[in-house]
Structure 1
Amino acid sequence: MAIHLHKGDLPDGLGLGPVVAIDSETLGLNPHRDRLCVVQLSAGDGDAHLVQFAPDTYDAPNLCRLLADPEVLKLYHFARFDVAVMEYYLGVRAEPVYCTKVASKLVRTFTDRHSLKDLVREFAGVELSKQQQSSDWGAETLSQAQMEYAASDVLYLHKVKAGLDAMLAREGRTAVAQACFDFLPARAWLDIAGWAETDIFAH
């Protein structure tokens, strides 16, 4: 495994294939208050690329081009948050997307365990450490432990997707999962625009 740290943007000419696993690290869970600090990506090849942002420096044309590329599937765990925070800070809407948390909730109805840690254990046989989850991602220099934690959040998503896809197909839920994925960018926009806690479909 190799971890590549980039300051401010992905390097020119980097290709990550047709399906890219993506995650983010922020200073909290409120995008209006808690800034985007790191975006991590993997092509599923065992390597991870981390883009670290300094405060108020979000001009990242290479990353934005990838997020907006209609030919690249963006693979997340809990896409609702990551898509929203990246749209808020980078000004780009990621499409198309796939969310392993949504897929898990649709097809792993025998359990209430849908965390990334649970899915990676089941489908990749790897036990993730979450010790750095609440660390200071706004620090000027990331520790080795932070970089390894960030990388681990994307390194196994392709395997998780493969396992979930097989279950969705088996249970006849692939189409409804795709409909949910198609709606996710709009759901993320609603969160940013102020409808995070309002069910607009309710009576």
Structure 2
Amino acid sequence: MQIIDTQKKLEDNLLLIASEKIIGVDTEFVRKKTYWPELSLIQLVSESVELIVDIQSELDLTVLWEVFRNKKILKVFHSCKQDIEAIFYLSDVIPISVYDTQIGAMFCGYKEPISYAKIVEDFLNIKLDKDLQYSEWGKRPLKKEMYEYAINDAKYLIRLQKLLEQRIGKNQKKYWLDEEFSDFSFIEEFKKRKRLKKSDLYNIDNYIIDHNGQELKKFREDLAILKNIPRKFILSDKEIHSIRKEKPNDINQLNRLIDSRSYIKRDEDIYRLFANLVFSSNSHPNLVNKKNKTKLTKQQKNIIRQLDLKLIEISTNLEICPYILASKFDIRTFVQDNDASVKFLNGWRYDAFGKLAIKSI
């Protein structure tokens, strides 16, 4: 294991990594007081080297980002979403040629997302100590045991990937899994967040029309992104629930429902915008009409029950996690609103489950 904290170490060792066909990747980051994850370490493991890049060492990381852009190198993560988010926030680089062992496991019969420690134990009979998972990764110097913990989170990824591929085999599921890895839906959302501007907060009607019923949470989300602070600092879920329930129609009523320490009250201009959103959403016809559509008919309930049962049957036969095929929310949305945008009506999910769902309507 090498700690990469100088430019020479980085460039010399990244030459070795750049010649590999497959590497394991993990990150350590902090986000207690920020919306975006702030990278502390990036762990890179091949069959010949184990590296920990100290992001706080003020290095020129260009050679590292080139590795993530290199489509000839397969990057193996476990539960890659937050790792990719942290890398993207720092570099504007989206890693390509990615394999996620958590998703791979869900194509091998696991009925829910599995932790890294659990899959390592199940496949390799190795027990990992996760006591340091929530360490203070932003502080320096890091203790030796923290580096050891960090490298273990990447050390077994290549072996896991090979074992998962053997179990899946070269059949239809393999093509489905490849399709899943080629189009992570969250990537476009990351890019959209980075493009966000303060002026977007002023489109009150768009919040109501585009985020029908969730416009307050969406406004909070966007403000958290722009200020780079956690959502709960802006406004708590409890406060949003109270606003929804009480439906305040003037600023004094709204003030009583929001804690004086909430960030939303610190900026008069932003608070005025939020108040206008609250008052507009209380009377907007889109939301009034939405209330009348929330109840399912008896026929719709029966269809949903049938689809739930069929989903379990299909996922069991295919040895694929049911939640990756279709979520309960998507099934309800499809039946209630005939929404063609649900995930199981596209790509490999359509072949596995969507065709049958359409026949049921």
Give runs of aligned pairs for residues 87-106 of structure 1, distance below 5 A.
87-106=88-107
The two structures have a TM-score, normalised by structure 1, of 0.84
The two structures have a TM-score, normalised by structure 2, of 0.49
Q: For the residues of structure 2 that align with 1:143 and 1:164, how far apart are their CA atoms?
A: 33
Matched to 1:48, the amino acid is E
Task: Quote the residue 1:7 is aligned against.
Answer: 5
Number of matched pairs? 195
Judging changes above 3 Å, is the alpha-carbon distance between structure 1 residues 170 and 39 closer, same or farther for their aligned structure 2 residues? same
Task: Quote the residue 2:259 is aligned against.
Answer: none
Q: CA deviation at 1:8?
A: 6.5
Judging changes above 3 Å, is the alpha-carbon distance between structure 1 residues 58 and 81 closer, same or farther for their aligned structure 2 residues? farther
Contact between 1:100 and 1:160, CA under 8 Å: does it hold in 2?
yes
SS of the aligned residue for 1:24 comes to strand
Judging changes above 3 Å, is the alpha-carbon distance between structure 1 residues 30 and 202 closer, same or farther for their aligned structure 2 residues? farther
Q: For the residues of structure 2 that align with 1:82 and 1:31, how far apart are their CA atoms?
A: 15
Matched to 1:50, the amino acid is I
Give the alignment's Cα RMSD to 1 decimal: 2.8
Task: Quote the residue 2:31 is aligned against.
Answer: 28
Whether 1:132 and 2:128 are equivalent positions in the alignment is no
Task: Quote the residue 2:71 is aligned against.
Answer: 70
Q: CA deviation at 1:108?
A: 2.4
Q: For the residues of structure 2 that align with 1:106 and 1:30, how far apart are their CA atoms?
A: 35
Q: For the residues of structure 2 that align with 1:201 and 1:115, how far apart are their CA atoms?
A: 30
Contact between 1:84 and 1:192, CA under 8 Å: does it hold in 2?
no
Task: Quote the residue 1:86 is aligned against.
Answer: 87
Contact between 2:45 and 2:51, CA under 8 Å: does it hold in 1?
yes
Whether 1:54 and 2:56 are equivalent positions in the alignment is yes
Contact between 2:5 and 2:59, CA under 8 Å: does it hold in 1?
no
Matched to 1:53, the amino acid is I
Q: CA deviation at 1:88?
A: 1.2
Task: Quote the residue 1:167 is aligned against.
Answer: 167
Task: Quote the residue 1:41 is aligned against.
Answer: 44
Contact between 2:29 and 2:39, CA under 8 Å: does it hold in 1?
yes
Matched to 1:51, the amino acid is V
Matched to 2:53, the amino acid is V
Q: Residues 25-68 of structure 1: CA distance to partner in whole angstroms, max 9, x if unpaired?
A: 000389744311110010034x420011228x474011111110
Contact between 1:68 and 1:94, CA under 8 Å: does it hold in 2?
yes
Matched to 2:5, the amino acid is K
Judging changes above 3 Å, is the alpha-carbon distance between structure 1 residues 22 and 84 closer, same or farther for their aligned structure 2 residues? same
Matched to 1:193, the amino acid is K
Q: For the residues of structure 1 that align with 2:52 and 2:134, how far apart are their CA atoms?
A: 17
Q: For the residues of structure 2 that align with 1:159 and 1:29, how far apart are their CA atoms?
A: 32
Q: For the residues of structure 2 that align with 1:72 and 1:29, how far apart are their CA atoms?
A: 32
* Larger of the two Rg values belongs to structure: 2
Larger strand share, 1 or 2: 1
Task: Quote the residue 1:156 is aligned against.
Answer: 156
Moved over 6 A (4+): none
What is the percent sequence identity of the aligned residues? Answer: 20
Q: For the residues of structure 2 that align with 1:98 and 1:80, how far apart are their CA atoms?
A: 11
Gaps of 5+ in 2: 194-217, 222-329, 331-339, 344-361
Comparing 170-179 with 4-13, greater Cα deviation is found at 4-13
Q: For the residues of structure 1 that align with 2:189 and 2:124, how far apart are their CA atoms?
A: 33
Comparing 91-100 with 30-39, greater Cα deviation is found at 30-39
Q: Considering Cα pairs closer than 8 Å and 6+ residues apart, tell me whether 1 or 2 has the greater RCO.
A: 1
Contact between 1:64 and 1:92, CA under 8 Å: does it hold in 2?
yes
Q: For the residues of structure 1 that align with 2:155 and 2:192, how far apart are their CA atoms?
A: 31
Gaps of 5+ in 1: none
Judging changes above 3 Å, is the alpha-carbon distance between structure 1 residues 143 and 178 closer, same or farther for their aligned structure 2 residues? same
Q: Residues 60-97 of structure 1: CA distance to partner in whole angstroms, max 9, x if unpaired?
A: 01111111011111110012221221011122111011
Q: For the residues of structure 2 that align with 1:161 and 1:112, how far apart are their CA atoms?
A: 18
Q: Residues 124-151 of structure 1: CA distance to partner in whole angstroms, max 9, x if unpaired?
A: 2211111111001111211111100110
Q: For the residues of structure 2 that align with 1:157 and 1:86, how far apart are their CA atoms?
A: 18
SS of the aligned residue for 1:23 comes to strand
Q: CA deviation at 1:193?
A: 2.8
